[in-house]
Amino acid sequence: MAAAGSIRGQRGVTENVAFEIETRNLTKEFGHRQALRGVNLKLAAGEFVTIIGPNGAGKSTLLRCVAGLSKPSRGQVLLRGRPLDASGTDVRRRIGLVSHETLLYDDLTAVENLRFYGRMYDVERLDSRIDELLRRLGLLRRAHDPVRTYSRGMQQRLAIARALLHRPSVILMDEPYTGLDEQATEQLHRILRMMESGDQTLIMTTHNLNTVAQVGSRLAILVAGRLAYDAPKRPLSLEGLSTLYREVIGASS
Amino acid sequence: MRAYLGKVAIILWKDVISEVRTREMLSSMLVFALLVTVIFSFAVEPGSVDMMDLAPGLLWVAFTFAGILGLNRSFALEKARNSLEGLMLTPLDRSGIYLAKMLGNFVFLSIVEAVVLPLFWVLSNLTLFPLAVVLIVPLGTVGFVAAGTLFAAMTVNTRAREVMLPILLLPVSVPVIVAAVKATGAVMAGESLAAAANWLQLLAACDVVFLVVSVLIFEYVIED
């Protein structure tokens, strides 16, 4: 049965729809350590939530559970109301993941990497899709160079192309700014703003408040595996965001 | 099923392309196996009775340890940029990742065996080359890489994976190696394949058990 709820969409209109992503009491334990403690998160289609929190708060674990890379110890992840673990392998076509690792093969060229993943996802008209993405992400000139010759920023843009290749409805980004210089960071900001205007649901984790200030429509703060704050993003200055973050962390500890 | 096998072939092809570019796996496997063969030919007098007793064991020592070198590399390639997670995100049952990796390891080890086997025969001055060896070697290789691929996936995230893999794999693959050595020894001695039937049956049984168990549990091995 599809989970449905009364949510406030991006246009501020209350409507009854199935959530694109929902986590119910999501708990993940590694031995005696609890990385996630009963996280409940609901995202409508088209929402862009940025999740911040200190190191070890469980941000990456949350994304790994939503991506199906890690099995929850308790609780559930639902995609459009269907439990992820009972949806078979086809549900993975709806998810794209950008990690701080690129998930690419260094010895293959950009085109070969994208062609490999495209075939794995049965992408139609693959060559034109690869061409389109490489052009959008400014990599067309280096399309036939091995990935190991790319700068960190170029590799990250190619990783985004890989995640978008099969047109997923949900894009998960785990600290995508890791290791990027200022210019590459600005480029990634531009790409994310472009993605924000699309109809995809985005979850991005970061510990950089400057990034939070620039992208996303909703803000969540994860502290010690618990969702300590979750609200639509207010137009706050960097200082205001920093104050809010400190208050939430302080209240949670 | 066709789509499943198609995706297994896509991963296998990607591994072949990567190996053709880097030659990291094949070169180390070949050098090791050839070194064992050459050293052995100098250590034991060609054509002697000792040679007939030692040859099957030494042949499989060369294959086994060359295989371990390759197995260690097979998942290291996926570990470099965490691309194993990229494979896990694709709409392919995780057993397909295992099958592709297992087939890749089988192909690479078979190439090494195809080069080493004739050379071993020549350097060891063994006059008779029984065609049955061509059946026994792939049978032994399947069982060895079936278990080896699973253990390589298990140990890829450990700190001392080069040491951990043989420690875990060798005790498990003892039945395969012993059966392969015994069957190879029998046909080398000029006996018919029927004389080695028991060993061949053990080899085939090990192949099936290792393959089925590995396919079933691979998902749990690579997940958190």
Alpha-carbon span B209 to B147, nearest angstrom: 9
Partner-chain residue, chosen from A67, A69, A90, that has the shortest CB–CB distance to B91: A90
B223 contacts A104? CB cut-off 8 A: no
Residue bearing tokens 């009775």: B49
pTM: 0.90
Alpha-carbon span A53 to A225, nearest angstrom: 9
Alpha-carbon span B53 to B37, nearest angstrom: 15
B187-223: pLDDT as tens digits: 988 888 888 999 999 999 999 999 999 999 999 998 8
B2 touches chain A (CB under 8 A): no
The yes-or-no verdict on residue A133 having pLDDT over 50 is: yes
ipTM for the predicted complex? 0.90
∠ Cα A76 A81 A86 (to 5°)? 55
Output the pLDDT for position B150. Answer: 96
Report the percentage of chain B scoring pLDDT > 70. Answer: 98
A92 contacts B91? CB cut-off 8 A: yes
A63-122: pLDDT as tens digits: 999 999 999 999 999 999 889 887 778 889 999 999 888 999 999 999 999 999 999 999
For A104, the 3-state DSSP assignment is: coil
- For residue A61, what is the nearest residue in chain B, using CA coordinates? B224
B14 touches chain A (CB under 8 A): yes
The yes-or-no verdict on residue B116 having pLDDT over 60 is: yes
Residue A73: alpha-carbon gap to chain centroid: 21
**Residues of chain A numbered 110-149 and touching chain B (CB < 8 Å):** 112, 116-117, 119-122, 146
For A76, the 3-state DSSP assignment is: strand
Output the pLDDT for position A13. Answer: 41
**Residues of chain B numbered 24-83 and touching chain A (CB < 8 Å):** 77, 80-83
Output the pLDDT for position B49. Answer: 65
Alpha-carbon span B97 to B65, nearest angstrom: 24
Q: Which residues of A touch B83 (CB under 8 A)?
A: 103-105
Output the pLDDT for position B112. Answer: 97
Least confident of A10-24, A235-249, B13-27, B209-223: A10-24
A30 contacts B90? CB cut-off 8 A: no
Residue bearing tokens 């403690």: A37
Element at A149 (helix H, strand E) = none
B223 touches chain A (CB under 8 A): yes
Q: What is the DSSP letter of A109?
A: B
B87 contacts A120? CB cut-off 8 A: yes
Q: Which residues of A touch B21 (CB under 8 A)?
A: 107-108, 146
Q: How far is CA A51 from CA A8, A21, A154, A211, A220, in A?
A: 19, 15, 24, 11, 5
Neighbours of A56 (CB within 10 A): 12
Output the pLDDT for position A10. Answer: 44
A136-183: pLDDT as tens digits: 888 999 999 999 999 988 999 999 999 999 999 999 999 988 877 787
CA distance B19 to chain A (A): 9
CA distance B70 to chain A (A): 18
A103 contacts B86? CB cut-off 8 A: yes
- For residue A117, what is the nearest residue in chain B, using CA coordinates? B90
Least confident of A13-27, A92-106, B33-47: A13-27
Residue among A116, A126, A152, A158 with most chain B CBs within 10 A, to mutate: A116
A89 contacts B92? CB cut-off 8 A: yes
Alpha-carbon span A169 to A186, nearest angstrom: 24
CA distance A101 to chain B (A): 6
Q: Give the CA-trace dihedral at B128, B129, B133, B138, to 10 degrees.
A: 160
Count of A-B CB contacts under 8 Å: 78
The yes-or-no verdict on residue B45 having pLDDT over 80 is: no
